[in-house]
């Protein structure tokens, strides 16, 4: 009994210790969460301070709390474009806000449509006689898109501004796969469907080059027009056409060159910038550090200006990122997840639906599942508008065929109506390694597909026939949705990618406009008056740990990498990371378990958070991972 009693006391002690530990963790977590949560009480008279560290996205991806804590690093910060626009519009009528400060020091980028939406909101602030100031160590294309609409553009004297314009290299693996004896079997429909070319060619086909050059040219013209409108005195030709001559004329001082060309207005450090803001918005009575000024953070300001909930609800569903089978997302368009939240909202009292698309496409099965869920709204005679953001191509356009009316912007990338599938086989590799296959078949399909022995002609024919049929389905959906004859759709399809302006001319979209225009159209179709409706976003609720984790983990990925982004070498390092991300994504696309894809691989890359492994891999490790995939 003595031993049992002692053992029991040990168990009770362990139990009490665990209870105390969990209680301690609970209260620490609760305190940190409350401290991290924005409070309207934090809004005060002064400047609205918008720190755009990280990326601007359509839909913010949630943080995996356990993954982030175990890796001891928080993912890069993501800002939803609509939140930034809402804050800027609220600042127009808020008498407490005397100026807006946009800190672009650790801003990485976003899509061209999102940049223009934020830029137009900045214009509305300035029209209310409230100055908008930007500050950065280095300005790139997306930085300048925003800064060109500011009242004052400040640059650190050790920094600089450069404009690259759209374009860059595409990677091709045909020679590598040949050396590895890998047979990349490609099944596709579409003369311009360049998504599979990296695996079968060593350079762009003439059709792909023609298409992409035209698209990039249109996007570049839109960018220049938007920037020139904000900064008409900018020497854009000198900066972009003769960059070396421009910099050498200023003795290699990129900051002075940026000032001379009109890219920026003032060179000054952060303290000098803060002193200027204090002149406009007032000094900070609580903080006497050099360069401080009275300000309110973006999160606190948004908490003080919640979205309206008055009137009838118009549902808004977001299809952002690659379209995949399953429950992935937000930030990735999982077909099951989006269909589920659409069906759930269908049973509530909504006046209509807006589908916000920012996706290069993906799985045909998932795209069709989302399309069917959207179509169920039309079956109930509810108006459905589709609003395109930066990209609505391939599967992103497949989804849109369920809408009544499609809105896009001139900078929107759309089309890419085509499908493909890739199936690698390794008969050559196996033979080289001394592995041979000897088959017994009762039918031509026995044991097929066989990645070691190869595919029979019958299987090859069936796969291509399936792709042809899926493409025909795509054409039919577009033809019915857009009231365009099928042969005409096929002519403008073939996997070709279009800018928003051209897409409107060929009737792939109905009119120019953003999300608010799409909401207003649905409200009008539903007979709702101004003020009699509000947008109800159907995103599943975020985990409440995001702010807490970002507060607990000091080594934020975006900050740690982009704070070095003021010189050309650091910008080159960021380009390296994007290249590594493309390498790994291409390898996964070749070897992953994907079905038929309606995906726009050739669409210009939008700045997005890099996959966590890429952010940490060296070049050598990334190449090893690619070859080992």
> What would the pLDDT profile of 35-73 be if each residue is shown by its tens digit?
444 445 578 899 999 999 889 999 888 776 666 555 555
Q: d(Cα 92, Cα 37) in Å, to the nearest integer?
A: 24
Which pTM was predicted?
Answer: 0.85
User: What is the mean pLDDT of the segment spanning 442-462?
Assistant: 80
pLDDT at 308: 86
pLDDT at 550: 56
Q: d(Cα 425, Cα 435) in Å, to the nearest integer?
A: 13
In the set 148, 258, 359, 394, the catalytic residue is: 394
477 pLDDT tier (thresholds 50, 70, 90)? very high
568 pLDDT tier (thresholds 50, 70, 90)? low
User: What is the SS3 assignment for 551?
Assistant: helix
258 catalytically annotated: no
Tokens of 544: 């409440």
Q: d(Cα 413, Cα 218) in Å, to the nearest integer?
A: 10
Residue 624 has pLDDT above 50, yes or no: no
Q: Which of 618, 194, 608, 169 is nearest to 626 (CA)?
A: 618
Helix (H) or strand (E) holding 219: helix 206-230
Q: What is the DSSP track for 343-397? A: HHHHTS-EEEEEEEEEE-EEEHHHHHHHHHHHHHHHHTT--EEEEEEEEEETHHH
CATH class of 187-214+312-426+457-530+568-629: alpha beta
Residue 259: C-alpha distances to residues 139, 430, 478, 479, 615 (Å) = 12, 61, 49, 52, 33
Q: Is 505 exposed, middle or buried (0-12, 13-18, 19+ CB in 10 A)?
A: exposed
Q: d(Cα 181, Cα 432) in Å, to the nearest integer?
A: 8
Residue 614 has pLDDT above 90, yes or no: no
SS3 of the chain: helix, strand, coil, percent, to 5: 50, 20, 35
Higher pLDDT, 438 or 92: 92
pLDDT at 535: 94
User: What is the mean pLDDT of the segment spanning 125-145?
Assistant: 95
pLDDT at 182: 86
139 pLDDT tier (thresholds 50, 70, 90)? very high
- Do 409 and 512 touch, CB atoms closer than 8 A? yes
User: What is the mean pLDDT of the segment spanning 450-462?
Assistant: 82
Residue 265 has pLDDT above 60, yes or no: yes
Q: d(Cα 396, Cα 366) in Å, to the nearest integer?
A: 11
pLDDT at 409: 96
431 catalytically annotated: no
User: What is the mean pLDDT of the segment spanning 334-339?
Assistant: 94
Residue 566: C-alpha distances to residues 105, 112, 563, 595 (Å) = 8, 21, 7, 42
User: What is the mean pLDDT of the segment spanning 567-589?
Assistant: 63
Phi-psi region of 50 (alpha: psi -120 to 50; beta: other; left: phi over 0): beta
- Do 399 and 371 touch, CB atoms closer than 8 A? yes
Average pLDDT, the chain: 83
Higher pLDDT, 458 or 125: 125
pLDDT digits (tens, 9 = 90+) for 20-30: 666 655 555 55
pLDDT at 342: 95
296 pLDDT tier (thresholds 50, 70, 90)? very high
In the set 98, 130, 193, 536, the catalytic residue is: 193
CATH of domain 36-163+231-304: 3.90.226.10
User: What is the mean pLDDT of the segment spanning 575-588?
Assistant: 66
User: What is the SS3 assignment for 130?
Assistant: coil
User: What is the mean pLDDT of the segment spanning 468-491?
Assistant: 94
pLDDT at 67: 60
Residue span(s) of the chain under CATH 3.90.226.10 come to 36-163+231-304, 187-214+312-426+457-530+568-629
- Do 271 and 279 touch, CB atoms closer than 8 A? no
Higher pLDDT, 622 or 602: 602
Taking residue 624's Cβ as centre, other Cβ atoms within 10 Å add up to 12
pLDDT at 570: 58
pLDDT digits (tens, 9 = 90+) for 373-432: 999 999 999 999 999 999 999 999 999 999 999 999 999 999 999 888 888 888 887 777
pLDDT at 431: 77
- Do 274 and 293 touch, CB atoms closer than 8 A? yes
pLDDT digits (tens, 9 = 90+) for 69-88: 555 556 678 899 999 999 99
Percent of the chain scoring above 90 in pLDDT:
49
Among 118-132, 199-213, 473-487, where is mean pLDDT lowest?
199-213
Query: What residues form DSSP beta bridges with 499?
Result: 413
Burial 18-49 (b: 16+ CB within 10 A, else e): eeeeeeeeeeeeeebeeebebeeeebbebbbb
Residue 520 has pLDDT above 80, yes or no: yes
pLDDT digits (tens, 9 = 90+) for 220-229: 999 999 999 9
Residue 162 has pLDDT above 80, yes or no: yes
622 pLDDT tier (thresholds 50, 70, 90)? very low
Q: d(Cα 415, Cα 497) in Å, to the nearest integer?
A: 5
pLDDT at 616: 44
């Amino acid at each position: 009994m003595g031993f049992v009693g002692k053992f029991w006391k040990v168990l009770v002690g362990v139990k009490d210790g665990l209870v105390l530990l969990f209680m301690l963790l609970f209260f620490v977590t609760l305190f940190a969460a409350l401290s991290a949560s924005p409070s309207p009480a934090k809004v005060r008279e002064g400047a609205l301070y918008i720190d755009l560290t990280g990326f601007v996205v359509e839909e913010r991806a949630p943080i995996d709390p356990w993954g982030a804590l175990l890796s001891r690093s928080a993912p890069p910060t993501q800002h939803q474009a609509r939140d930034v626009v809402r804050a800027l519009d609220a600042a127009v009528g808020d008498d407490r806000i005397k100026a807006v400060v946009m800190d672009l020091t650790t801003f990485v980028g976003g899509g061209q449509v999102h940049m223009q939406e934020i830029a137009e909101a900045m214009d509305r602030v300035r029209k209310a006689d409230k100055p908008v100031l930007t500050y950065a160590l280095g300005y790139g294309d997306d930085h300048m898109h925003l800064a060109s609409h500011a009242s004052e553009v400040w640059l650190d004297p050790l920094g600089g501004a450069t404009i690259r314009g759209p374009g860059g290299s595409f990677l091709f693996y045909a020679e590598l796969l040949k050396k590895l004896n890998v047979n990349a079997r490609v099944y596709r429909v579409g003369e311009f469907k360049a998504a599979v070319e990296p695996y079968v060619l060593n350079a762009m086909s003439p059709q792909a080059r023609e298409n992409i050059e035209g698209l990039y040219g249109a996007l570049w013209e839109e960018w220049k027009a938007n920037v020139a409108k904000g900064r008409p005195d900018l020497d854009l030709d000198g900066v972009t056409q003769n960059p070396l001559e421009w910099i050498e004329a200023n003795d290699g001082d990129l900051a002075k060159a940026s000032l001379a060309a009109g890219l920026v207005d003032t060179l000054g450090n952060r303290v000098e910038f803060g002193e200027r803001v204090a002149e406009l918005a007032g000094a900070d009575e609580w903080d006497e550090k050099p360069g401080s000024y009275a300000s309110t953070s973006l999160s606190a300001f948004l908490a003080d200006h919640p979205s309206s909930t008055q009137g009838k609800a118009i549902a808004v569903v977001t299809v952002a990122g690659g379209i995949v089978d399953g429950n992935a997302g937000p930030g990735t368009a999982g077909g099951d997840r989006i269909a589920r939240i659409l069906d759930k909202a269908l049973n509530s009292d909504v006046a209509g639906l807006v589908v916000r698309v920012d996706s290069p496409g993906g799985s045909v099965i998932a795209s069709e599942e989302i399309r069917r869920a959207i179509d169920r709204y039309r079956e109930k005679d509810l108006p459905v508008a589709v609003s395109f953001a930066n990209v609505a191509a391939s599967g992103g356009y497949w989804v849109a065929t369920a809408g009544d009316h499609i809105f896009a912007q001139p900078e929107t990338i759309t089309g890419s109506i085509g499908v493909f599938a890739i199936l690698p086989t390794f008969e050559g590799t196996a033979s080289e390694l001394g592995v041979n296959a000897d088959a017994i078949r009762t039918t031509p399909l026995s044991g097929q597909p066989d990645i070691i022995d190869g595919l029979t002609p019958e299987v090859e024919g069936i796969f291509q026939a399936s792709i042809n049929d899926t493409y025909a389905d795509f054409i039919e959906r577009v033809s019915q949705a857009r009231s365009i004859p099928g042969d005409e759709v096929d002519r403008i399809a073939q996997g070709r990618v279009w800018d928003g302006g051209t897409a409107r001319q060929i009737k792939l979209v109905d009119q120019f406009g953003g999300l608010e225009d799409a909401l207003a159209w649905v409200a009008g179709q539903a007979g709702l008056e101004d003020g009699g409706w509000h947008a109800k976003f159907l995103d599943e609720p975020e985990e409440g740990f995001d702010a807490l984790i970002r507060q607990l983990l000091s080594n934020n990925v975006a900050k740690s990498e982009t704070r070095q982004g003021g010189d050309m070498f650091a910008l080159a390092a960021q380009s390296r990371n994007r290249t590594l991300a493309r390498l790994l994504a291409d390898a996964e696309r070749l070897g992953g378990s994907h079905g038929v894809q309606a995906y726009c691989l050739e669409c210009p890359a939008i700045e997005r958070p890099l996959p966590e492994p890429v952010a940490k891999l060296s070049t050598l490790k990334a190449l090893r991972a690619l070859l080992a995939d």
